[in-house]
Amino acid sequence: MGALILDASVLMGLLDSADAHHDSAVSAVERADQAGQPLVAPASAYAEALVAFARAGRADEARDAIAGMGITIAPLTAAMADRAAAVRAQYRDLRLPEAIVVACAEALEADLLSYDQRLRHLFPGETGDVDGRAAQSSAPIATASDPSLPPRWIVEHQAVAEQFESQDD
């Protein structure tokens, strides 16, 4: 089973319990994790997801949460950059960060999970449905797991999310 590429919209959903995609992101990533599918975020998506936390002085916490979830950060290679430029040139509505995510998924021959409307619009044949919310994927995500047995990182993620929420009070 190939990796599951997570774009910034998914990372933000995982990190922010108030995000509209939080429950869906946690559920989809939990299923992939339990199915043994490696979780990967392109470096560009990782940076994009950290911006709001950096502004709040909480980037370290967000980095620790992402690492605690077992998400690997994929560096941008020259080949990915070349492909991202070609994708961006072909799809004028797609921003470069999104094109980099597409290029990363292609380079790693991985599934792509995204809540980004531009990706869904440009790649409609690959759009899946995760918990009633549209998601970008080139292959179906594993079936739902037993919610009574969350993997270790879900428990840790919930603790980190609670810390974020308590600091906001």
Sequence ranges of the domains in the chain: 4-168
- Decide which of 16 and 152 is more confident: 16
Cβ-based neighbour number of residue 138 at 10 Å:
18
Contact 127, 135 (CB under 8 A): yes
Average pLDDT estimate for 140-151 = 30
pLDDT of the residue at 163: 54
**pTM for the model:** 0.74
Does residue 132 surpass a pLDDT of 60? Answer: no
Cα-based torsion angle of the residue sequence 18, 19, 21, 23 in order, rounded to the nearest 10 degrees: -20
- Specify the DSSP element, H or E, that contains 158: helix 152-168
Tell me what the mean pLDDT of segment 49-57 comes to.
91
CA angle 145, 70, 49 (to 5 degrees): 105
Cα separation of 142 and 30, whole Å? 9
Tokens of 44: 């560009």
Q: Which residues contact 85 (CB under 8 A, 6 or more apart)?
A: 99
pLDDT over 50 at 56, yes or no: yes
Per CATH, the architecture of 4-168 is what?
Answer: 3-Layer(aba) Sandwich (3.40)
- Over residues 14-34, the pLDDT tens digits come to 999 889 999 999 999 999 999
